[in-house]
Structure 1
Amino acid sequence: MRKLLDGVYTGSGLLSAGLIAAICLLVTAQVLLNLITKYGPFDINLTIPSYADFAGYMLAASTFLALAYTLMRGGHIRVTMVLNLVPSGFRLAAEVFALALCAVVAGYSSFYMYRLVHESYEFGDMSSGIVAIPLYIPQSTVLAGLVILTIALIDLTIQTIRLGRPVIVQMNTE
C-alpha cells in the first residue's frame, strides 16, 4: 500500500510538472506567433485560439495536482514554531489534531468540488473562450488534486499516530 500511495503522490507531481512545461511551451509559441505577426513578411494575424484559457486551466490543474506531492516531500510551509511552543507532552496531539483538521478541510473541499464538477457536467457548462471547453474537464483535474491531497493528509495522520511521533518529511535533494 505504501508503494501505491507514494506512486500516486509522485505521479500527480510529475503530471503537475508536465502541465507547467506545457504552459511554458504554449505561451512561448504564442509569443513567437506575435513576433511573426508584428515583424514578419505576412499580413496575417497569427494566434493560438483560447491560449490564455488553456494556460489558466493547466495552471489550476498543476497547482492542485502538486499539493499532495509537495506535502509528502516537506515542501509546504509548516508552523513548527507554534509546535515548538507546545509542551512536549501535547506536541503529538497538536500534530495529529492539525493533520486531522487539514484532512477534514481538504475532504470538505473535495466534496464541494465534486458537486461543482457534477453540476457543470449535468448542465453542460462550457467555457466562454473562442474554443468552448466543457468546464467539468478542467474542474475534474482540480477535484483529483484535492482528493489526492485528502488522501495524503489522512496518510500522514495515520503515520503520525502509528509512529507515536510527528512524521518529519524532508525534501529529497538528490
Structure 2
Amino acid sequence: MGGSSPALPGAWRTALNALYDGAGVLAALCMVGLLVMVMLSILGRQLHFNLPGVDAYAGYAMAAAGFLALAQTLKRGEHIRVTLLVTSLRGAWRRGFELWALSAATLLALLFAAYSVRLAWQSYTLHDVSTASDATPLWIPQIPMAVGAIVLAVAFIDELVLEALGRRGAHAPEEATRNE
C-alpha cells in the first residue's frame, strides 16, 4: 500500500504495509478461486458432470475474499464513512470525534477478531463439518475470516495510533469526490 504517514519506525511501517498488502493479495487470489469455482459449476451443468462441493467452495472463497480485503480497504480510506458530522466539526472537536470513533472501531474489531478466532478453534475442537455435500471441516474456511479480522484489528490500531500522534492523513477517495 505505501503512502501512510510513518508514525512508527520505517521497519514497522514497512511490515504493517506488507501485512495489509499480503492480505489484499490473498483476497484477490480468493476472488480468482471464486471465479474458477463458478466456471467449474457452469461447465459441470453444461457438460453434465457434477463436482460435489463446488458451490460451497465458491461461498467459502467469497467470504475469505471479503474478510481478507477489510484491512487494506480501511487503510486506503475506502470504507464507508458517514462524513456529514465529521466534516462539520473543526479543530479539537473533529480530532476528538475521530479519536472516539477510531477507539470504538478498534474495540469492535478486537472483539470481532477474538470471537472469529474462538469460532474457528471451537469448530476445530468439536470437529464441526459443513452440512453441504462437501462435508468440509468448518475451521478451514473460518481461518481466513479470523485472519482477516485480526489484520483489520491491527489496521484499526494503526489508524488510532496515527490519529493520536497527529500523523493520520485525511482519506478522501476519488470516487467520493465524484459523487453527485
Q: Into which bin does the TM-score normalised by the smaller protein fall?
A: 0.7 to 0.9
Residue 131 of structure 1 and its aligned partner are, at CA, apart by 2.1
Query: What's the C-alpha RMSD, in Å, of the aligned pairs?
Result: 1.8
| TM-score (norm: length of structure 1) | 0.88
Distance 1:24 1:163 in 2: 42
Does 1:50 pair with 2:17?
no
Question: Of 136, 154, 157, which aligns to 2:157?
Answer: 154
Matched, 1:127 2:108: no
Alignment partner, residue 170 of structure 2: 168
Say if 2:35 is the partner of 1:33: no
Alpha-carbon distance between aligned partners in 2 of 1:65 and 1:7, rounded to the nearest angstrom: 13
Structure exhibiting the larger radius of gyration computed from Cα positions: 1
For structure 1, which runs of at least 5 residues remain unmatched after alignment?
38-45
Identity %: 32
CA distance in 2, matches of 1:48, 1:88: 59
Aligned residue in 2 for 1:19:
30
Letter of the 1:169 counterpart: H
Residue matched to 2:8: none
| Mapped contact 1:73–1:170 kept (Cα < 8 A) | no
Shift in Å, 1:86:
2.3
**Larger displacement relative to structure 2 (67-76 or 79-88):** 79-88
Aligned partner of residue 76 in structure 1, secondary structure:
coil
Q: TM-score, length-normalised on structure 2?
A: 0.85
Mapped contact 1:67–1:149 kept (Cα < 8 A): yes
Q: What secondary structure sits across from 1:74 in the alignment?
A: coil
Q: Determine the C-alpha separation between the residues in 2 that align with 1:79 and 1:95.
A: 12
Asked if 1:8 is matched to 2:19, the reply is: yes
- For 2:171 and 2:147, the matched residues in 1 are separated by 23
**Aligned residue among 130, 137, 141 for 2:140:** 137
- Unpaired segments ≥5 residues, structure 2: 1-11, 176-180
Letter in 1 for 2:18: G
Question: Kindly tell me: are residues 170 and 84 of structure 1, through their superposed partners in 2, closer, same or farther at Cα, counting changes over 3 Å?
Answer: closer
Task: Kindly state the Cα deviation for residue 113 of structure 1 after the two structures are TM-superposed.
Answer: 1.5
